[in-house]
Amino acid sequence: MKKLLALILALCMVFALCACGKAAPAAPTTLTMGTGGESGTYYAVGSVLGNYISPKIGVTINVVASGGSAKNLTGMCVDKIYDLATVQSDVMTFAFNGTNSFAETGKLDSFRVLCGLYAETVQIVSVDPSIKSVADLKGKTVCVGDVGSGTAFSAVDILGIYGMTIDDITPVYQSFGASTESLRDGKIDAAFTTAGAPTPSIVDLATTNTVNLISIDDDHLAKLLDACPWYAAYTIPAGTYKGQDADAVTVTVKATLICRADLDDDVAYKIVSTIFNNTGDLAAQNAKCAEFSLEFATEGIAVPFAAGAAKFFSENGITVATAP
Ligand code: GLU
């Protein structure tokens, strides 16, 4: 009888060990989130999200500054330094499909969407009132965002609609903060800034200078929306920045929160549910969070969602695509 018990015990231990061996990897305790430059909206909103979500889900989200969308995608899919990131919806779609500038590097598809966050506005900023149209940028020194930014993609699209390439300007690659200093010092004539408005760097510029936001005219806007359907028309209302007395017409893309494809499903679920179950608290900390909605989070997104995010949206009556 004793021998039988010992045998049963031994078998139980073997089964227990096998089960341990096959157990799912432990959920992460720390996640790193790539955002954008410190004077941008990604960093500001990302910091609010990280600080708010971390204690609620028991996972520390470290929010770090970065060059922006393309840098975040390579940081996540190639260098494996980011678990979470904010990216432009257009740039992530190019990366996922290996199109546009990702045609050379090859597709980066080891990431999934958690949710769309808010509209990012393509803002063409100058302090020179003689620059009245995008056409006036020809021959000028223009910041097109940081190296690896999504802003650089917007700049190429908009110059292209006006029959220009990057070679028709003298391009400068700088963070939003650095480009604000360059505008102030007269080192550059204009700067593209694709970011949620009001953007901290432009708010800062407006404290010392009259900000001239350059509009895209109706004719070119129609052509842009036709050629690049990932944009939506948008008017930056007068008064968004100190001293801005006229509306500016431009386009938006969608700031999107993504995660690496193998992020634990339960953690993905908790991140998304914490955001959308607490939009009031988040909006109190950053005005961009007041734009968060289940519809905006899920509409027009061309990259598969993380299964944990899809579970949350499905519980709220919205079906989103996941990877097969
Ligand atoms: N959308 C920008 C980019 O990827 C960054 C925006 C921001 O930092 O708020 O270049």
Q: How confident is the model at residue 28 (pLDDT cuts 50, 70, 90)?
A: confident
Say how many Å lie between the CA of residue 24 and the centre of ligand 1.
35
**Ligand 1, pocket residues at CB < 6 Å:** 36-37, 40-42, 68-69, 88, 120, 145, 149-151, 194-196
- From ligand 1's centre to the CA of 17, what distance in Å? 48
Which residue type, as a one-letter code, is found at position 109? Answer: D
Does a structural domain hold residue 7? no
β partners of residue 171: 142
Q: Considering the entire predicted model, what is its pTM?
A: 0.90
Token duo for residue 201: 């760097």
How far out from the chain centre does Cα 181 lie?
24
- Does residue 180 belong to any structural domain of this protein? yes
Distance CA 227, CA 112 (A): 26
At position 21, the amino acid (one-letter code) is G
Instruction: Let me know whether 261 and 230 are in one domain.
Output: no
On whether both 73 and 147 belong to a single domain, the answer is no
Contacts 24+ apart (CB under 8 A), 47-54: 48/282, 48/285, 48/286, 48/289, 49/257, 49/275, 49/282, 52/274, 52/278, 52/281, 52/282, 52/285, 53/270, 53/271, 53/274, 53/275
Give the residue numbers spanning the domain of 266: 30-117+255-315
How many domains would you assign to the chain? 2
Same domain? For 227 and 148 the reply is yes
**Is residue 323 in a domain?**
no
pLDDT in tens, 94-151: 999 999 989 988 999 999 999 999 999 999 999 999 999 999 999 999 999 999 999 9
Instruction: Render pLDDT for 82-106 as a digit per residue (tens, 0 to 9).
Output: 999 999 999 999 999 999 989 988 9
Atom of ligand 1 nearest to the CA of 68: 4
Flag the least confident range among 14-23, 34-43, 236-245: 14-23
User: Do 264 and 242 share a domain, yes or no?
Assistant: no
By the 8 A CB rule, do 194 and 150 touch? yes
Whether residue 20 lies inside any domain: the answer is no
Whether 175 and 146 have beta carbons less than 8 Å apart is answered as yes
Q: Report the DSSP beta bridge partners of residue 34.
A: 64, 85
Same domain for 283 and 311, yes or no, is yes
CATH number for 272: 3.40.190.10
Task: Quote the CA–CA distance of 41 and 174 in Å, as a whole number.
Answer: 16
In this structure, the answer to whether residues 35 and 99 fall within a common structural domain is yes
* Residue 270 Cα to chain centre, angstroms: 19
**What letter does residue 28 receive in the DSSP assignment?**
P
Q: Which of 194, 199, 201, 202 to mutate to test the pocket of ligand 1 (most atoms within 8 A of CB)?
A: 194
- The verdict on 187 and 146 lying in the same domain is yes
